[in-house]
Amino acid sequence: MLVDGKWTKDWQPVQATDAKGGFVRQVSGFRNWITADGAPGPTGDGGFAAVAGRYHLYVGYICPWASRTLMVRKLKHLEGLIGVTVVEPVLTDQGWEFASDPDPLNHVRYMHEIYTLADPRYSGRATIPVLWDKERATIVSNESADIVRMLDTAFEALAPASLELYPADIADAIDDLNDWLYDGFNNGVYRAGFATTQEAYEEAFTDVFDRMDGLEARLADGRAFLHGDRLTESDIRAFVTLIRFDPAYHGQFKCNRARLVDYPHLLAYTRRVLDVPGIRETVDIDHIKRGYYSIKALNPSGIVPVGPDLSWMES
């Protein structure tokens, strides 16, 4: 991670733990918002107006948080307006590394250099995703929840879309479900995988399967998506964890009471979201497996399992 703008060797992909050995995710450091006219958003500074070609996303296919921003870019037809650079799946001693050496946009090799271009004295983890502003040569945001929401709203005049991921009439229901999904499911699998005590692991494990069971029950009435007929933010949140469940979390993160394929409604639902035009291109299972199984602290040999059978994903 970066300390006062310098990459420190004293760095663990396992991140921080609390007193009980529970995994603690870092709070994001850049919280500005792109808005239609450049007015300030809910947090941070203004001056980031929606303009074609001005912004760029740094992502990795391994990362569920980055993948949700990629999904929104597709769903809102922003591919022609916002470029993307994908990092290599394997986290190196210097953090995320660019496949093309150097990154064609900013001509650096590692993600942490993007952070120090934005703030030469930055302290914190160099996480993905990052939404980069080419005009001001800075980071707009490194918080995926905010990036999802700004991509959903700010570019309406440039790329009108029929899909609204956070419609006002069900905003409260989306917020409630998002909260329930975040700690127990999206971050729950990480809390299980990166726990350093049995107690913290078992607590997280219970949460993860409480969410799997809850989602299965919710979908049992035949609804297409979590809030009914419309695909929303909540579906994006659920999907990014579900699609990684069998290839990564069941094994590497020890979430092994059941697999996704053991839940009929959840499996059909995951396939339905995968089949939404554009979504399949945001999923790279090989990248996901190589990334998770390269985390040395959890899998010192670095061996990537051959399975599981994911033929259900084929279109």
Q: Identify the residue among 54, 73, 125, 237 touching ligand GSH (CB under 6 A).
A: 125
The one catalytic residue among 55, 63, 201, 263: 63
Decide: is 41 part of the binding site for ligand GSH (CB under 6 A). no
DSSP per-residue codes, 219-242? HTT--SBTTBSS--HHHHHHHHHH
Which residue shows structure tokens 């949140």? 237
Q: Identify the residue among 95, 184, 188, 193 touching ligand GSH (CB under 6 A).
A: 95
Decide: is 2 part of the binding site for ligand GSH (CB under 6 A). no
Decide: is 129 part of the binding site for ligand GSH (CB under 6 A). yes
Q: Identify the residue among 2, 22, 23, 28 touching ligand GSH (CB under 6 A).
A: 28
Decide: is 255 part of the binding site for ligand GSH (CB under 6 A). no
190 belongs to the catalytic site: yes
Taking the CA of residue 39 as centre, how many other CA atoms within 13 Å lie in the half-sphere pointing to its CB? 4
Backbone phi, then psi, for 41, in 5-degree steps?
-90, -160
Q: Classify each residue of 158-195 as buried b or exposed e, where b means 16 or more C-beta atoms within 10 Å of its C-beta.
A: ebeeeebbbeeebeeebeebbebbeebbbbbbbbbbbb
Choose among 69, 70, 35, 33: nearest CA to 50: 35
Provide the minimum distance between the beta carbon of 265 and ligand GSH in the complex, in angstroms, as a whole number: 27
Closer of 153 and 219 to ligand GSH (Cβ): 153
List Cβ neighbours of 132 (8 Å cut-off, separation of 6 or more).
55, 56, 57, 58, 105, 106, 114, 118, 138, 139, 140
Closer of 31 and 271 to ligand GSH (Cβ): 31
Closer of 129 and 270 to ligand GSH (Cβ): 129
Choose among 230, 124, 252: nearest CA to 173: 230
Closer of 154 and 240 to ligand GSH (Cβ): 240
Decide: is 113 part of the binding site for ligand GSH (CB under 6 A). no
List Cβ neighbours of 32 (8 Å cut-off, separation of 6 or more).
40, 41, 43, 44, 45, 46, 48, 140, 141
Closer of 112 and 263 to ligand GSH (Cβ): 112
Decide: is 143 part of the binding site for ligand GSH (CB under 6 A). yes
- How far is Cα 292 from Cα 146, in angstroms, rounded to an integer? 25
- How far is Cα 184 from Cα 177, in angstroms, rounded to an integer? 11
Decide: is 288 part of the binding site for ligand GSH (CB under 6 A). no
Q: Identify the residue among 50, 57, 63, 140 touching ligand GSH (CB under 6 A).
A: 63
List Cβ neighbours of 112 (8 Å cut-off, separation of 6 or more).
1, 2, 7, 94, 95, 96, 126
Select from 101-109, 137-145, 251-259, 267-275 the region that touches ligand GSH (CB under 6 A). Answer: 137-145
The one catalytic residue among 55, 110, 122, 190: 190
Decide: is 144 part of the binding site for ligand GSH (CB under 6 A). yes
Q: Identify the residue among 128, 226, 273, 288 touching ligand GSH (CB under 6 A).
A: 128
Closer of 28 and 241 to ligand GSH (Cβ): 28
255 belongs to the catalytic site: no
Which residue shows structure tokens 């004293």? 10
Choose among 208, 276, 275: nearest CA to 242: 208
Decide: is 65 part of the binding site for ligand GSH (CB under 6 A). yes
Decide: is 188 part of the binding site for ligand GSH (CB under 6 A). no
Closer of 219 and 251 to ligand GSH (Cβ): 251
Active-site annotation, residues: 63, 190
Query: Interface with ligand GSH by CB under 6 A: which residues?
Result: 1, 15, 25, 28, 63, 65, 95, 125, 127-129, 142-144
